[in-house]
Every structure is written in structure tokens, then in C-alpha cells.
Amino acid sequence: MIYIFLLLILIFVLYENRKNNCLIENGNIIFKNLNENHNLESLMRDLLKQKIDDISKIEKAYYIFGNLKITFNKPYILIYNGKIDYDSLLKSRKSINFIYKYLNENKIKLSQVLYAIYINDSFYIVKT
């Protein structure tokens, strides 16, 4: 029982540490989280080691056990052949209203859309 309790505490500490040590979020460097161990120079050096030259593609980057952990923004195909993919819509954390608002503003009918991709807070549409 005590081992389970200690394991839960360790998981909580690691999660909180990761949250507070997030150095890049949605392509932006969080300068307040930089410190003497993980400064801007070491961050840039570690990004170059991993051959990353465009931080706008990074969803989150943080140090865990001294190693830089990076997650990248994923493209979501929200519309394919004029039909909305509700699973991708849910994963992208966008609403159906987001799609209809964008289509109405650009005077595009849903049936005209071959596919629509959402990535890095941008919406790209290819019409038929």
C-alpha cells in the first residue's frame, strides 16, 4: 500500500515539474521558465542537436531528467470530401461552429471542400 502511495506522489511531482518547466508552448518560448540550468543558450543548443530549426512546429518542449522532450503540433484533417470528421474535430479542440464560421466568412460551401486541415492555429482548405 505504501508503495502505491509513493508511486502516486512521484507521478504527481513529475507531472507538476513538467508543467512548470515547459520552455516552449505552441511555438513560443516561455522565458519565465528559463533558469540557470536550462537557459536560452542551452535550449537552442539542444534544439539544434535534434535538428529543429523552426520552433513554431513545437507544441511543447520541456526538460525531464536532463533531456529535452518535444511534442510537435499535429495536423488535423477536419473535412474530407465535403464531410466533417468529428473525431479529428474533437481532437483538435475546435467546434463545428468554427468550421461553419470560417466557411461562411470565405463564402465556401461544405460540399466544395475536398479537404481542410487545421494546424498551428491555421485552417487550410482545398476546394474541389
Give me the tens of pLDDT residue by residue for the chain, a chain 128 residues long: 676 766 666 666 555 554 557 899 888 999 888 888 788 898 999 999 999 888 888 888 988 888 889 988 888 999 999 999 999 888 888 889 999 999 999 999 999 999 899 887 788 999 88
In b/e form, how buried is each residue of 78-90, taking b as 16+ CB within 10 angstroms? bbeeeebbeebbe
CB atoms within 10 A of CB 42: 15
Domains along the chain with CATH numbers: 2-72 (3.30.240.20), 76-127 (3.30.240.20)
User: Per residue in 34-61, pLDDT tens?
Assistant: 888 788 898 999 999 999 888 888 888 9
pTM of the full structure: 0.57
Q: Using CA atoms, how far apart are residues 66 and 99, in angstroms rounded to an integer?
A: 41
